[in-house]
Structure 1
Amino acid sequence: MKKIKKWLLGVVATVASGVLLAGCGFPGLSGTSSDTIRIASQNTTEQQIMAYMIQDMIQHYSKLNTTIINNLGSGTVSFNALKNDQADISAIRYTGTDLTTILGEKVDRNNVKATDKKVADQFNKKYKMTYFPSYGFADTYAFMVTQKTADKYHLKTVSDLKKVSSKLTVGLDQMWLERKGDGYDAFQKLYGYQFGKTYPMQIGLVYDALESGKMDAILGYSTDGRIGSYDLKILKDDKNFFPTYNASAVASNKVLKQHPELKSILNRLNGKISLKTMQGLNYQVDNNLVEPEVVAKQFLEKHNYFEGSDK
């Protein structure tokens, strides 16, 4: 069931990505009325959870209609949706990713805290988009091994991998392999080693591959619920290779001007979702097969839709 679902998501993502990159509108959305807020979501679990969470918040606190443009294939695709006025809100954007891929700037590893402000300022200036404060978690790329492997080779940091790197079979996010600035080429230059064998994989498959022993190490996402369920060891990025990937909602200034109530609605989620919380929400979907829409609604109901938290 999981494999079929992942395959279908991939097909939908590919089709949607092609539509956006071609500069065409989404079928059925070209005539969307001005009181319908279009929420763009990528094809990862947490993106979909947050898209439904935003939808529920808007419907709870306003009379606006909403629609979700789901399963977009990458951050670039969802960015172009906002840029081309095909969407109004991006469910999650990550500051570090936008710094390197959208803005094309290098990571300042001596001042990683400056990333958020730089990205927010540039998005507002260049693209007329508002970067909201972080939800409270950062979905950072992270190298992981099983506890058995960590104990065997005495691994605590990414630098510790160097002594055994030539022996390792490593599963890597296929998009990360080609990325500029914070991809594999830049990684090799900073850390001074490469892995014996690397396999480009869909990010959703790397955890199972590691847990089953098919891989010695993987590059995954720090918010994935399977980290805890598989008891995986995250290795510390001791050279600060990866920039901060704080997760935030981004909205076009146009829609915020048309519907100023959206600002206070989105601000209610500021700092409300920790890394541990996001891991738990993702786990409900990926492991327990609960639909993202259900997970989002149950979380908001549990917290009374964060009433009184819009400051």
Structure 2
Amino acid sequence: MLGCAPPRSSRVVIGAKNFTEQVVLGEMLAQEIEAVTGERVERRFYLAGTYICQQALVGGRIDGYVEYTGTALTAILKQPLPPVGQRGKAEVLSSVRKIYEDKYGVRVEDGLGFEDTFAMAIRGDDARRLGLKTISAAVGPARGWRMGVGYEFESRPDGLEGLEATYGLKFAERPRTMDLGLLYRALAERQVDMVSGNSTDGPIRALGFFVLEDDKHYFPPYEAVPLIREDSLKVHPGIQTAMDRLAGKVSAEEMQRMNDAVDGQHRDVGDVVREWRAARGL
């Protein structure tokens, strides 16, 4: 009887988690690899969350996907949050890069050019009416607010519990947990008054929400970095060429626009990425 490991595809296989930005980034990696190698890339998108993507990568079911350095550090590698003064992009990237290489044989590529950090978002009219710009300034009003969070943010070591402790945040009732796709609708419909979104989410701009500044620097950097198996790079050296071409190319504003094009305008993700690549001369 042969081993139970799933057969490795002869094609490059790129994965993505189950939200819009991840699918856009997965498509971006896939299209760039196809452009470099001239070979079709298999897409395994909408994998259910961080843990499933990590298992697929380590188990060889995918060759790569895009992760965020802060998520990798805390949720995957289970490292403690570094002291505030040691949470710079370079320090976190260096730490994540070494552990992935030593433990998993995975290369952490150079960043795509943007961070997607957690964003404490409130309605724009509330921010203007109360003169709020920072999370610290919102501590008082928050005592009468309802909070909405995603399932992952509620349980992560860099999530809700630490945020509440760092800022002394207390809400009118226990935070409501819901699917990420429902958070902004709940905020717009005044079912909640603050949500833990992501800084590059399309609805923030489209619906006129305001992101409060993390003035105590609670969150670590969440730089978007492709994770690629080292053995895949040996078999398919064109992957590295493609990753080098994408490094530093994506701004936070471009990411937000692409997310909104797919989410808000219901455009095809392949078309959105192709237009972005053409505009970038790729």
TM range (shorter): over 0.9
Find 1:62's aligned residue among 20, 24, 37. 37
- Is residue 235 of structure 1 aligned with residue 209 of structure 2? no
- Is residue 124 of structure 1 aligned with residue 129 of structure 2? no
Partner of 1:76: 51
Alpha-carbon distance, 1:167 to partner: 0.3
Find 1:140's aligned residue among 85, 93, 117. 117
* Paired residues, number: 275
Higher relative contact order (CA 8 A, sep 6+): 2
Between 224-233 and 205-214, the greater mean CA deviation after superposition: 205-214
Partner of 1:149: 126
Partner of 1:188: 164
Q: Counterpart of 2:30 in structure 1: which amino acid?
A: Q
The CA distance in 2 between the partners of 1:194 and 1:178, in whole Å, is 17
Alpha-carbon distance, 1:159 to partner: 0.9
Runs of 4+ in 1 over 6 A off after TM superposition: none
Alpha-carbon distance, 1:63 to partner: 3.3
Q: Deviations over 1:247-290 (max 9, x none)?
A: 01110001011122211111111111100000000010111000
Aligned with 2:125: secondary structure?
helix
The CA distance in 2 between the partners of 1:151 and 1:208, in whole Å, is 20
- Is residue 115 of structure 1 aligned with residue 92 of structure 2? yes
Aligned with 1:215: secondary structure?
coil
Alpha-carbon distance, 1:31 to partner: 4.3
The CA distance in 2 between the partners of 1:33 and 1:75, in whole Å, is 22
Q: Counterpart of 2:161 in structure 1: which amino acid?
A: D
Aligned with 2:226: secondary structure?
strand
Q: Deviations over 1:140-168 (max 9, x none)?
A: 10101112111232211111121122200
- Is residue 290 of structure 1 aligned with residue 264 of structure 2? no
Find 2:235's aligned residue among 258, 270, 278. 258
Aligned with 1:110: secondary structure?
helix
**Structure 2 portions without partners, runs of 5+:** none
Find 1:96's aligned residue among 70, 82, 107. 70
The CA distance in 1 between the partners of 2:32 and 2:273, in whole Å, is 10
- Is residue 210 of structure 1 aligned with residue 184 of structure 2? no
Partner of 1:48: 23
Partner of 1:308: none
Contact 2:163 2:218 in 1 (8 A): yes
Aligned with 2:216: secondary structure?
coil
The CA distance in 2 between the partners of 1:303 and 1:152, in whole Å, is 40
The CA distance in 1 between the partners of 2:188 and 2:251, in whole Å, is 25
The CA distance in 1 between the partners of 2:139 and 2:60, in whole Å, is 46
Q: Counterpart of 2:74 in structure 1: which amino acid?
A: T
The CA distance in 1 between the partners of 2:19 and 2:220, in whole Å, is 20
Q: Deviations over 1:166-202 (max 9, x none)?
A: 200111112111112x122222221122222211111
